[in-house]
Chains A and B, each alone.
Chain A
Amino acid sequence: MNSMERVLQTMQHKEPDRVPLFLLVSMHGAKELGLSIKEYFSKAEYVVKGQLLLRNKYNIDCINNFYYGPIEVEAWGGNVIYREDGPPNSGTPFIRGPDDIKTLKPPDIKNTKCLAKVLKSCSMLKAKVGDEIPILGVVMSPFSLPVMQMGFDNYLDLLYGEPELFEQLMRINEAFCVEWANAQFETGSTAIAYFDPVSSPTIIPKDLYLKTGFEVAKRTLAQINGPTATHLASGRCLSIVDEIAETGSSVVGVSALEDLSALKSACQGKLTILGNLNGVEMRRWKPEQTEHIVKECIAKAGLQGGFILADNHGEIPWQVPDEVLHAISDATQKWGNYPLDWIESGE
């Protein structure tokens, strides 16, 4: 099976030849090319080259056309602050008060340099890999984007205290998100990761989610012209698994904070699990330990498909060394081959 067949098979909750591995390395492409992170993300060509090298180096089953979270903020006119040893941050929020929401206009996607760059690398990657391997695109959910647009504390204040303004902001963000996701599909993305950490019960209570993030996701995902994976960026999801399935997503990114066996039971037949290696701890794993952790994940979630091995945050930290990434890949090749008879034999 090629990567595309492997991934599609597991997403149908059937066992493919092997557990697919989505090693979500974005910044590591800069290391491969000997560039700074800022330089690397400055050109679509670098990202294409980096992703193809990483795919081959670690036998990854997807191409990750993700640059950095605040790229959308950059498109809206906000500033992005680069650092040498980690993902760029969004700078000072550009929504500073209610009037800014009332007059907010989304960016014109094709004429916004940073977004056009993402679309360019997407079409270049598609030309290189065709239908052999899925290309992942990324959008920030309309519900989570305001954390960067206006600051987390201001956004929580809005969420609890200004329902009308909140709805107004959601309508603007939803229109942008749909257009941005569909533009990525048009240029070659196979699926879109819908990053929605604020919807996690780690961040807001379920009753508030049902009135807000859930409704936003249902409206938004219904207009996106392709498969989506909801990712809560290491936030918990167990108590909202049914609702995430109801939004139309077919995959959920799960947290290392929750038990993978419990997640597997909850998601069985409804959602494919993506996760849940601890990216922060991963930095100091030893090869034997890595093999044990990968094996344990596969044992807990691999049976009957519906499982893609990945980190739990959606972005492997810059500090994770090559030897750990190789060890994850090797362990997947060693223990991820179906049928997973070794689980029942207690190996």
Chain B
Amino acid sequence: MINKMDASFRFEKALRAIDRLEAEKIFMESCSDTLPSIAAELLISSALERIGDDWVKGKAALSQVYMSGKICEDLINSMIPPTETVLKQSPRMAIAVLDDFHLLGKRIVYSTLRANQFDLIDYGRRSAEELIGRVKEDRIEILLISALMLPSALKVAQVSKDLKQAKVKVKIFVGGAPFNFDDTLWKEVNADGMGINAGEAIRLVSNIKGGKV
């Protein structure tokens, strides 16, 4: 029987050191006595949340957040059979950057959510008009928007207004540097919430599933 606390600690340590082989080894060990999807929940969710929280506190770097998410995303994609990858039965969810050419934030949140077995569509970079069209067409229930540039963050207001006017029932969650530097900005642009890091994206999405938002 693998000591779960010990495995969790070692897994997080391996992620922080960007030691892919060690992370894979610990994950495999954990899978020896439980389903991969359960092992993923035990190891991956908490590790990524703690690394994300430490980034906000200045105790971890963005490169560690990115690489950790990527390692975990690869683990999920390669080690859990496709039938198990949507076990959480996510709401219909998509992620995009809005008129912004900085894609790293979106990539990190996407990896983190996938590593936590959420299913979501990656819209890539979109104009406000394109994004609104896709949200309607795909009947998206949760829209995550990542922004690095202030003008892009401000454009969320237009997306929110147009979707509300069209009576589209979608929750908009935002994240990225402008929102981190001004903690009232998400309200100003009429988002439904903001995540200061990728771990908070997991919490926001989980709250929707749990009916808390």
Contacts and interface: CB of A to CB of B under 8 A. Distances in A.
A83 B99 contact: yes
Contact of B181 (A160, A238, A256): A256
A153 B103 contact: yes
B107 interface: yes
Contacts of A256: 181
B62 A319 contact: no
Contacts of B151: 83, 85-86, 318-319
Nearest to B59: A201
B206 interface: no
A91 B101 contact: yes
Nearest to A320: B150
A46 to B, nearest CB: 21
Interface stretch (A59-67, A96-104, A121-129, A203-211): A203-211
7 closest Cβ pairs, A-B complex: A86-B151, A280-B181, A152-B104, A89-B101, A85-B151, A280-B182, A205-B61
Q: In the complex, which of the residues A90, A156, A258, A317 has the most CB atoms of chain B within 10 Å of its own CB atom?
A: A156
A86 B102 CA distance: 14
A247 B52 CA distance: 30
Main secondary structure of the interface of A (DSSP, over half): loop
B58 A204 contact: no
Nearest to B153: A280
Given A91-B101, A318-B151, A201 B58 contact: yes
A91 B99 CA distance: 11
B67 A160 contact: yes
A159 interface: yes
Contacts of A8: none
Contacts of A205: 60-61, 63-64
Interface residues of B, number: 28
Given A85-B151, A153-B103, A284-B184, 18 more contacts: A86-B150, A86-B152, A151-B103, A152-B102, A156-B67, A201-B58, A202-B61, A203-B61, A205-B60, A205-B63, A208-B63, A234-B181, A257-B58, A258-B58, A280-B150, A280-B181, A280-B185, A281-B182
B100 interface: yes
B150 A319 contact: yes
Contacts of A208: 61, 63
B31 interface: no
B62 A203 contact: yes
A162 B107 CA distance: 20
A231 interface: no
A153 B99 CA distance: 18
A257 B62 CA distance: 15
Contact of A81 (B18, B66, B101): B101
Contacts of A159: 63
Contacts of B184: 284
A202 B66 CA distance: 12
B66 A89 contact: no
A182 interface: no
Contacts of B150: 86, 280, 283, 317, 319
A203 B60 CA distance: 8
B178 A280 contact: yes
B149 interface: yes
B177 interface: yes
A278 interface: yes
A236 interface: yes
Interface in B100-124: 100-104, 107
A195 to B, nearest CB: 15
